[in-house]
Structure 1
Amino acid sequence: MTLDAVLDTVIAGNRLLHYLASMLIFGSSAFLWKIAAPGLRMQLDRRLAFSLRAALLLALLTVLAGLPLQAAEIVGSWQAALDPALLQKLLGTAIGQAWLLRLLLALLLLAVSMLRQPGRLGALVVSAGLLLASLALNGHAAMDQGLRGFLHGANHIVHLLCGGAWLGSLLPFLLCLRLLDYPVARNDAGLTLRRFSSAGHVAVAGVLLSGVVNTMLVLGRWPTDWSSPYQLLLSLKILLTAAMVTLAIVNRYVQVPRMQSDARLAVAAIRRCTLIEIGLGMAVLALVSVFGMLEPV
């Protein structure tokens, strides 16, 4: 494997880890803040504590690694990642300014996570949302100028936030399914799952609509030329997203009504579908991490 290929793999891996961490923080925090029944909020918060702390640390570390990796890619040398002069020069560019903003947002998110005031969850959602939205400063959405550039960036932000709300909330959703087994928590868990169902419709619709708009803005047509690596990977992303939507529809409109007659089997089926949904979501983010670095042709 050539040095360029290794660098691209490491950068894509760093991007993937950052996507996963940022979306988990945003989606899980939003779930706790606005979807979880008050009687479950503290219990779910405790159960998610380790995962969220790990995601916070990972989000910060992946941001920190971003600029050195960018420097290494530009020069084509690992030594460039540790060259103070080159890194300082990069800070004066649009790439460096975007990285600096993202670093400040990651530090803000870490500071907010340490708060213990009643408004902590709301502040955590806002700061996590800002970090996730800042990903629109890089990539294909940042290539356009003027009004088109503004609209492209805004649409990309909607896509990121809806995707984070969808994928990031699936972990606390799984925890709520487990709480259905406890009589004391069953009513609150049921209320939470109904709220999630309503919010999930909005998040999924937002992902699909903004995804279509983004494809039209970048390519101007559907990705049908599979000789292009970008279009091939984008087509795979669309296919995997369609599979995720299908699983979500099966959960909501097949398995949820089935709970009235056979709750145990229905909940087990919902859990399996959700785990597959998470796996597909991670595969989607892996594809995005790769084709986001390719020329959109």
Structure 2
Amino acid sequence: MEGWGNIVVRFVSYADLMLLFGLPLFGLYGVKGNADDAHAAFGFRRLLSWLAGVGLLVSGVGMLVLAQAMSGVTEIGELERHVFGMIITGTNVGIAWVVRIASLVGILLCAWSCRRSPTPSLTLAALFGAVGLSTLVWSGHGAMDTGTRGGIHLAADTLHLLGAGAWLGALAAFLLLLLRPGQGDAYRHLLLLRQAVTGFSAAGTLIVGVLIVTGIVNYLLIVGPTLQGMASSLYGALLLVKLGLFGAMLALAAANRFRLGPLLERARNSTEIARAKHALCKSLAIETAAMTLILLVVAWLGTLSPSGNTRPY
């Protein structure tokens, strides 16, 4: 499975692990720490179980793709067992894969206990999600550097992934609140949505700051302090597309915070509430679509060098 197959595996891994970090994290801060209400609103037990299952499946496929690329065989059926042992015990990306699997199993355990102990379960799930998401840096450009430069690059990559995961998780949480019928009376559901809008305001500013700073650091470490060749190489063109989509997300996020969020806060009757919900849902859906395209671009970028050549992982 090469080319687009590899890109799809990377894309699904990014999206799945970001949600597994961002959703439980939002459940802790997005509703003023009321994990019981968050669990009732999002159905975390089923949601996290399903996402963790997808993560385990995709991780398995990813290991097959990696083993095929590293062994040089043309068909996955030609792979021998010792190849997997060599990757898992002898490479950083293999060790990261084992840690990812352990993190996904940990999230499954948290999901099963979420109904009885929502706050501890969501806290542990977010921590496991952060660890699992961080393992993806070993299949990115940061893993190519060594020494101090390599440490800085891996740290910037990790923070960038965590920031993106927190943002994607918040988007998914908002859409779930808007599209899923409230569990109980309509007023309580509206109150929960208003709390979520308020709770994300400060966190959103921090997330954007982290993404901008770490994005600049990553660019300088990968490409260097130059814009030369940005539009002439595939890597540069994809990076420009990513930046354009990120700019669109910033504009939508600003509109959500300063216009649509307050509109929901001021809504008093059912007509005003329905109008505010519809406008917010439409904006969040567009923002989520932009984030999805960014993840697809990032999955593609991870297979290229800055000159546009395909990398082996």
| TM norm structure 2 | 0.85
Q: Which of 262, 275, 285 is 2:285 aligned to? A: 275
- CA offset at residue 81 of structure 1? 6.4
Question: Amino acid of the residue matched to residue 140 of structure 1?
Answer: H
Deviates more, 1:278-287 or 1:138-147: 138-147
Q: 2:260 maps to what in 1?
A: 255
Could you report, residue by residue, the CA deviation over 1:133-163 in whole angstroms, capped at 9, with x for unpaired residues?
Answer: 1111221111111111111111111100010
- CA offset at residue 61 of structure 1? 1.2
CA contact (8 A) 1:71 1:87 kept: yes
- CA offset at residue 186 of structure 1? 2.7
CA contact (8 A) 1:71 1:80 kept: no
Q: 1:237 maps to what in 2?
A: 242
Q: 1:135 maps to what in 2?
A: 136
Q: 2:311 maps to what in 1?
A: none
SS at match of 1:17: helix
Q: 1:217 maps to what in 2?
A: 221
Q: Distance in 2 between matches of 1:187 and 1:169?
A: 17
CA contact (8 A) 1:23 1:163 kept: yes
SS at match of 1:169: helix
Q: Distance in 2 between matches of 1:292 and 1:23?
A: 16
- CA offset at residue 43 of structure 1? 1.6
Q: Distance in 1 between matches of 2:260 and 2:274?
A: 11
Could you report, residue by residue, the CA deviation over 1:172-196 in whole angstroms, capped at 9, with x for unpaired residues?
Answer: 1123345599123333332222111
Deviates more, 1:116-125 or 1:24-33: 116-125
Question: Amino acid of the residue matched to residue 48 of structure 2?
Answer: L
Q: 2:103 maps to what in 1?
A: 105
Question: Amino acid of the residue matched to residue 137 of structure 2?
Answer: A
Q: Which of 37, 40, 45 is 1:40 aligned to? A: 37
- CA offset at residue 98 of structure 1? 2.7
Q: Distance in 1 between matches of 2:141 and 2:39?
A: 40
- Relative to structure 1, the CA distance from residue 143 to residue 111 in structure 2 (aligned partners, 3 Å threshold; closer, same or farther) is same
Q: 1:58 maps to what in 2?
A: 54
Gaps of 5+ in 2: 308-313
- CA offset at residue 129 of structure 1? 0.5
Q: 1:3 maps to what in 2?
A: none
Runs of 4+ residues deviating >4 angstroms:
178-181
SS at match of 1:36: coil
Gaps of 5+ in 1: 1-5
Q: Distance in 1 between matches of 2:222 and 2:83?
A: 31
Question: Amino acid of the residue matched to residue 14 of structure 1?
Answer: V
Could you report, residue by residue, the CA deviation over 1:211-264 in whole angstroms, capped at 9, with x for unpaired residues?
Answer: 111111111135552221111111111111111111111111122334437544
Question: Amino acid of the residue matched to residue 168 of structure 1?
Answer: G
- CA offset at residue 100 of structure 1? 2.5
Q: Which of 293, 297, 301 is 1:287 aligned to? A: 297
CA contact (8 A) 1:66 1:99 kept: no
Q: Distance in 1 between matches of 2:93 and 2:222?
A: 20
| TM norm structure 1 | 0.89
Q: Distance in 1 between matches of 2:186 and 2:292?
A: 30
Deviates more, 1:74-83 or 1:212-221: 74-83
- Relative to structure 1, the CA distance from residue 133 to residue 93 in structure 2 (aligned partners, 3 Å threshold; closer, same or farther) is closer
CA contact (8 A) 2:42 2:177 kept: no
Question: Amino acid of the residue matched to residue 296 of structure 2?
Answer: A
CA contact (8 A) 2:21 2:129 kept: yes
Q: Distance in 1 between matches of 2:76 and 2:92?
A: 22
CA contact (8 A) 1:167 1:278 kept: yes
CA contact (8 A) 1:258 1:266 kept: yes
Q: 1:182 maps to what in 2?
A: 186
Question: Amino acid of the residue matched to residue 43 of structure 1?
Answer: A
- Relative to structure 1, the CA distance from residue 266 to residue 218 in structure 2 (aligned partners, 3 Å threshold; closer, same or farther) is same
The number of residues matched between the two structures is 291
Percent of residue pairs bearing the same amino acid type: 27
Q: Distance in 2 between matches of 1:147 and 1:81?
A: 39
Q: 2:76 maps to what in 1?
A: 79
- Relative to structure 1, the CA distance from residue 256 to residue 89 in structure 2 (aligned partners, 3 Å threshold; closer, same or farther) is closer
